[in-house]
Amino acid sequence: MKKLNLLFLSFLIIAGTLFQSCDEGDGYSLGDMAVDWATVNVKGAHVYDFTGDRWGAIWPAVTDNGWYSPVDGQRVILYFNPLYDNYPEGYDCSVKVLNVKEILTKSIENLTEENEEEYGNDPVDIFEGNMWISNGYLNVVFNQNMPERLRHRVSLVRNTMAESVIDGYIHLEYRYNTFGDTTDRWISGAVSFDLSSLQVTTETKGIKVKINSAVNGEKEIAFEIKDTPSPAGLIRMDFSQMEIE
């Protein structure tokens, strides 16, 4: 059995850095703790499971969150004790759920001349590496200058007004709207965008996401297809040559 990383990862840890995945073994100690970014799958009334970005198909055999009301397709950060690998049949592991923190989960939207003001294009504060694709979602951890009254809006859009670029990539834009309402208090937030609506083919090289960086101005962040032409097959490219904070 693979040794677990026992560090209690915070809400803002980037997926794919310290997460461990299930491995063959006879079981785990209830003192072992793990965390993963995951997607909720509702199977029926009061029946659900999770698809972890690292742990795979997760069966919640026991839970400390009896109050939890699952929403199909909701992205969460899942804290749990792993119990068994490859059990029950069809799952990579069964777990005791300790806590579920929901992540803002959104779809891709169309940006038009009529709604451009609604989406805004305020500078974003995103550190290098804090935007990545996993399990068919574009995930972003961002710093936010807290509002006084109005809730800020984060969006992933297709810009229908932009001139088409024929380079094999799907072009999207990450938009941020403060609505002119900010304070001097800063917090961190997270959002996951569902990429299932993208028309990915065998000819698609990947995705390029344009951002308005608070430090570096307009930048494009590129993601490439790894193996299969599907959103889940998209991986982050090497960001070492691109500062986006």
- Whether 115 and 213 map to the same domain: the answer is yes
pLDDT at site 155: 98
* pLDDT band per the 50, 70, 90 thresholds, residue 227: low
Pair type for strands 169-177 and 75-85: unpaired
Residue 68 lies inside a defined structural domain of this protein: yes
- How many domains does the chain contain in total? 2
**Which domain CATH number covers 77?**
2.40.50.500
74-83, 97-106, 162-171: lowest mean pLDDT where?
162-171
Task: Tell which wins on pLDDT, 54 or 45.
Answer: 54
- Whether 227 and 146 map to the same domain: the answer is yes
Residue 244 lies inside a defined structural domain of this protein: no
pLDDT at site 82: 96
- Domain closes at, from 102, 128, 155: 102
The whole-angstrom separation of Cα 211 and Cα 125 is 10
Q: Residues 105-120: pLDDT tens digits?
A: 999 999 999 999 999 9
Residue 229 lies inside a defined structural domain of this protein: yes
pLDDT at 232 over 80: no
Mean pLDDT of 47-55: 95
**Contact assessment for residue 110 and residue 68, using Cβ atoms and an 8 Å cutoff:** no
Q: What is the mean pLDDT of the chain?
A: 84
Residue 64 lies inside a defined structural domain of this protein: yes
pLDDT at 122 over 80: yes
DSSP letter for each residue of the chain: -PPP--S---TTPPTTSS-----SSS---TT--EEEEEEEEEEETTEEEEEETTTEEEEEEEES-TT----TT-EEEEEEEEEEES-STT-SEEEEEEEEEEEEEEE-EEE-TTTHHHH----BB--TT-EEEETTEEEEEEEEE--SSSPPEEEEEEETTSPP--SSEEEEEEEEE-TT---S-EEEEEEEEE-TTS---TT--EEEEEEEETTTEEEEEEEEE-SSSSGGGEEE---TT----
- Domain closes at, from 102, 127, 144: 102
pLDDT at site 43: 94
Residue 120 lies inside a defined structural domain of this protein: yes
- Whether 69 and 11 map to the same domain: the answer is yes
Q: Give the range of the structural domain holding residue 6, as residue numbers without chain letter.
A: 1-102
**Percent of the chain predicted with pLDDT > 70:** 81
- Whether 118 and 221 map to the same domain: the answer is yes
Residue 51 lies inside a defined structural domain of this protein: yes
pLDDT at site 21: 52
Mean pLDDT of 36-48: 94
pLDDT at site 190: 96
pLDDT at site 12: 39
**Percent of the chain predicted with pLDDT > 90:** 66
- Domain closes at, from 86, 102, 118: 102
- Whether 98 and 204 map to the same domain: the answer is no
Residue 242 lies inside a defined structural domain of this protein: no
**Which domain CATH number covers 225?**
2.60.40.2370
37-46, 67-76, 224-233: lowest mean pLDDT where?
224-233
- Whether 126 and 230 map to the same domain: the answer is yes
- Whether 139 and 46 map to the same domain: the answer is no
- Whether 128 and 147 map to the same domain: the answer is yes
- Whether 40 and 135 map to the same domain: the answer is no
- Whether 34 and 87 map to the same domain: the answer is yes
DSSP letter for each residue of 200-223: --TT--EEEEEEEETTTEEEEEEE
The whole-angstrom separation of Cα 218 and Cα 237 is 18
The whole-angstrom separation of Cα 230 and Cα 218 is 27
Residue 241 lies inside a defined structural domain of this protein: no
- Whether 1 and 95 map to the same domain: the answer is yes
- Whether 98 and 116 map to the same domain: the answer is no
